[in-house]
């Protein structure tokens, strides 16, 4: 088989590691301008992918984050994060095609875009940060899902035995249940085939965000006053040092709540053209950021108004939310369903990268390249790939075991947000855009973009420091595999 033909056979179309042989580029309605299968994504499917990725477990920590910063800084910082994320995502969308943003060569993944625009060592650094971050998000989502499962069990326990019952429940069985579910869903071959899962997950995210918001409003009404202060949690409730670390960690939590640039190019690669993919993606980004920011502001602010200095790290598992217990159960069930989908949205780029590398390295291996047709009554046969089955199962088991070792929801969320925010949401999009548009060094535009990047770097360092301090504090009273809530 010729090398070009081989390359076509093993190319990663729409994040597919295995695709059918390529037809001539002008051949038919089935193929795109690069000879790959035609994409079918729209503004709405892209928005669903983004909302699934963005309105994740991060929304649940926003009341706590707002409580650390107060009524002035909390909403202001949240709005700034949303603006920065929208702006840098628009820059990144322009880098989907190299050269011309309408007719240039397509970059199928975030790393491809970095390779085309920056090259060299930066590609390796980007790949390392991106895939470590995706791995970390999988762990964060596993912890969050298990906490929601525990919350259902616990609220039912309180309902049956009374509010004064200890109801201590071990988290490990619930982490394992989530892991087994993800092993099954991780066998969906590629990004293009999880649109339905994204739409279900997006609906679920609205469901639990709305319930959390409603419960917050109800609690404010029941209290008869709005709790909280202009400057956040009071010195006395926490020490001055803790106040600083917690404020930094709150920045990380807010950054995590907006982090989806990491998979933006992969989502953009599912969008059909014309119109230009960048145009569709900017619209999808605008819709998604407006919707999520509105929800974030409402959930964060009403949660803080309801609980004040005592705002819980996870809004729906906060004390006082056990009545009406059935409503809280519905919200937590919605979180679990959402996180099943969000886990897949984040992990598909990592799955595709490893499978593509394996195919390129061992093109003659039957274990890696061969698809076994499994007949499904009433549906088209499922292509079972043994390598995909084995490696994705190992990946999910690994994230599940680490989740049992590190069940610190807030600290893990803050650390992930901090580590991913500056390099992936700001630095690489800014540098690629400067390169792509050939913006002259020291021009006003160049200086403005560099100032934005430097400011976000400072926020990232502060947020990472706060989250590490939180993890160190948690480790003092921590016993491996014996976490219960």
What is the structure's pLDDT at 35? 61
DSSP calls for 236-302:
TTB-HHHHHHHHHHHHHHHHHHT--GGGHHHHHTTB--SSPHHHHHHHHHHHHHHHHHHHHHHHHHH
Bridge partners for 373 per DSSP: 383
Chain Cα centroid distance, residue 75 = 21
Residue 354 CA neighbour count, 13 Å, CB half: 19
Tell me what the mean pLDDT of segment 412-427 comes to.
78
- The answer, yes or no, to whether residue 1 has pLDDT greater than 50, is no
What is the structure's pLDDT at 24? 42
**Measuring CA to CA, which residue among 232, 215, 243, 244 is closest to residue 309?**
232
- The answer, yes or no, to whether residue 215 has pLDDT greater than 90, is no
Rounded Cα–Cα distance for residues 60 and 263 (Å): 21
Rounded Cα–Cα distance for residues 339 and 328 (Å): 16
271 contacts 96 by C-beta, under 8 angstroms? no
Rounded Cα–Cα distance for residues 2 and 251 (Å): 52
Tell me what the mean pLDDT of segment 166-194 comes to.
82
**Measuring CA to CA, which residue among 179, 191, 202, 194 is closest to residue 108?**
191
254 contacts 459 by C-beta, under 8 angstroms? no
226 — alpha (psi -120 to 50), left (phi > 0) or beta? beta
344 contacts 192 by C-beta, under 8 angstroms? no
What is the structure's pLDDT at 326? 80
Rounded Cα–Cα distance for residues 261 and 187 (Å): 24
- The answer, yes or no, to whether residue 264 has pLDDT greater than 80, is yes
Phi–psi pair at 64, nearest 5 degrees: -65, -45
CA distances from 223 to 212, 233, 297, 307, 316 (A): 16, 18, 20, 9, 18
Cβ-in-10-Å burial (0-12, 13-18, 19+) of 477 comes to exposed
Most confidently modeled range among 36-40, 313-317, 434-438: 434-438
- The answer, yes or no, to whether residue 291 has pLDDT greater than 70, is yes
Q: Is 378 helix (H, G, I), strand (E, B) or coil?
A: coil
Tell me what the mean pLDDT of segment 42-68 comes to.
80
Q: Where are the domains of the chain?
A: 43-475
Q: Is 161 helix (H, G, I), strand (E, B) or coil?
A: helix
User: In angstroms, how far is the first alpha carbon of the chain from the final one?
Assistant: 58
What is the structure's pLDDT at 10? 34
- The answer, yes or no, to whether residue 266 has pLDDT greater than 90, is no
What is the structure's pLDDT at 199? 80
Chain Cα centroid distance, residue 11 = 26
Q: Which of 80-94, 198-212, 281-295, 430-444 has the lowest mean pLDDT?
A: 198-212
Phi–psi pair at 258, nearest 5 degrees: -110, 0
| Neighbour tally for 322: CB within 10 Å | 18
What is the structure's pLDDT at 181? 92
What is the structure's pLDDT at 26? 45
In this predicted model, which residue has the larger pLDDT, 485 or 68?
68
Q: What is the CATH number of domain 43-475?
A: 1.20.1740
Rounded Cα–Cα distance for residues 70 and 481 (Å): 35
- The answer, yes or no, to whether residue 400 has pLDDT greater than 60, is yes
Q: Is 376 helix (H, G, I), strand (E, B) or coil?
A: strand
| Neighbour tally for 26: CB within 10 Å | 8
Tell me what the mean pLDDT of segment 20-39 comes to.
56
Tell me what the mean pLDDT of segment 369-398 comes to.
84
Question: 232: which DSSP letter?
Answer: -
What is the structure's pLDDT at 445? 93
Tell me what the mean pLDDT of segment 306-326 comes to.
70
CA distances from 187 to 44, 191, 336, 365 (A): 25, 11, 19, 20
pLDDT band for position 13 (cuts 50, 70, 90): very low
- The answer, yes or no, to whether residue 398 has pLDDT greater than 90, is yes
What is the structure's pLDDT at 192? 64
Q: Which of 33-42, 127-136, 435-444, 451-460 has the lowest mean pLDDT?
A: 33-42
What is the structure's pLDDT at 409? 59
pTM: 0.76
327 contacts 151 by C-beta, under 8 angstroms? no
Tell me what the mean pLDDT of segment 76-103 comes to.
87
pLDDT band for position 19 (cuts 50, 70, 90): very low
Phi–psi pair at 428, nearest 5 degrees: -65, -45
pLDDT by residue (tens digit) across 69-79?
999 999 999 99
What is the structure's pLDDT at 450? 95
Tell me what the mean pLDDT of segment 252-265 comes to.
78
Query: ∠ at Cα 362 (358, 366), nearest 5°?
Result: 100
pLDDT band for position 448 (cuts 50, 70, 90): very high
Tell me what the mean pLDDT of segment 10-28 comes to.
39
**Measuring CA to CA, which residue among 100, 18, 118, 42 is closest to residue 352?**
18
């Amino acid at each position: 088989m010729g090398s070009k033909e081989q390359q076509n056979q093993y190319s990663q179309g729409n994040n597919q590691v295995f695709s059918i042989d390529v037809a001539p580029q002008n051949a038919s309605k089935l193929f795109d301008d690069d000879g790959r299968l035609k994409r079918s994504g729209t503004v709405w499917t892209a928005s669903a992918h983004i909302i699934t990725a963005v309105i994740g477990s991060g929304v649940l920590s926003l009341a706590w984050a707002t409580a650390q910063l107060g009524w002035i800084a909390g909403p202001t910082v949240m709005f700034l994060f949303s603006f920065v994320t929208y702006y840098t995502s628009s820059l990144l969308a322009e880098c989907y095609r190299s050269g011309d943003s309408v007719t240039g060569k397509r970059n199928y993944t975030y790393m491809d875009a970095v390779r085309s625009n920056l090259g060299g060592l930066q590609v390796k650094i980007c790949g390392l940060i991106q895939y470590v971050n995706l791995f970390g998000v999988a762990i964060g989502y596993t912890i969050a899902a298990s906490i929601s499962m525990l919350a259902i069990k616990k609220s039912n326990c309180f309902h049956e035995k009374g509010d004064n019952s200890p109801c201590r429940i071990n988290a490990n069985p619930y982490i394992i249940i989530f892991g087994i579910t993800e092993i099954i869903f991780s066998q969906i071959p590629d990004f293009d085939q999880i649109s339905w899962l994204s739409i279900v997950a997006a609906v679920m995210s609205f469901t639990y965000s709305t319930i959390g918001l409603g419960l917050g409003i109800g609690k404010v009404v029941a209290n008869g006053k709005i709790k909280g202060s202009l400057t956040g949690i009071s010195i006395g409730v926490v020490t001055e040092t803790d106040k600083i670390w917690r404020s930094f960690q709150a920045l990380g939590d807010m950054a995590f709540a907006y982090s989806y640039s990491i998979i933006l190019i992969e989502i953009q690669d599912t969008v059909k053209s014309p119109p230009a993919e960048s145009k569709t993606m900017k619209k999808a980004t605008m819709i998604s950021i407006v919707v999520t920011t509105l929800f974030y502001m409402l959930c964060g602010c009403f949660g803080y108004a309801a609980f004040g200095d005592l705002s819980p790290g996870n809004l729906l598992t906060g004390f006082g939310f056990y009545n009406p217990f059935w409503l809280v159960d519905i919200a937590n069930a919605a979180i679990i369903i959402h996180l099943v989908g969000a886990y897949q949205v984040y992990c598909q780029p990592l799955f595709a990268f490893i499978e593509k590398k394996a195919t390129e390295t061992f093109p003659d291996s039957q274990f890696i390249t061969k698809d076994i047709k499994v007949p499904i009554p009433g549906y088209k046969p499922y292509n079972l790939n043994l390598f995909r089955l084995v490696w994705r199962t190992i990946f999910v088991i690994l994230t599940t075991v680490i989740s049992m070792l590190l069940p610190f929801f807030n600290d893990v969320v803050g650390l992930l947000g901090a580590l991913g925010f500056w390099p992936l949401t700001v630095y690489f999009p800014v540098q690629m855009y400067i390169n792509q548009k050939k913006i002259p060094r020291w021009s006003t535009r160049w200086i403005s973009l560099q100032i934005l990047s430097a400011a976000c770097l400072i926020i990232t360092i502060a947020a990472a420091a706060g989250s590490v301090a939180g993890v160190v504090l948690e480790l003092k009273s921590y016993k491996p595999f014996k976490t219960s809530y």
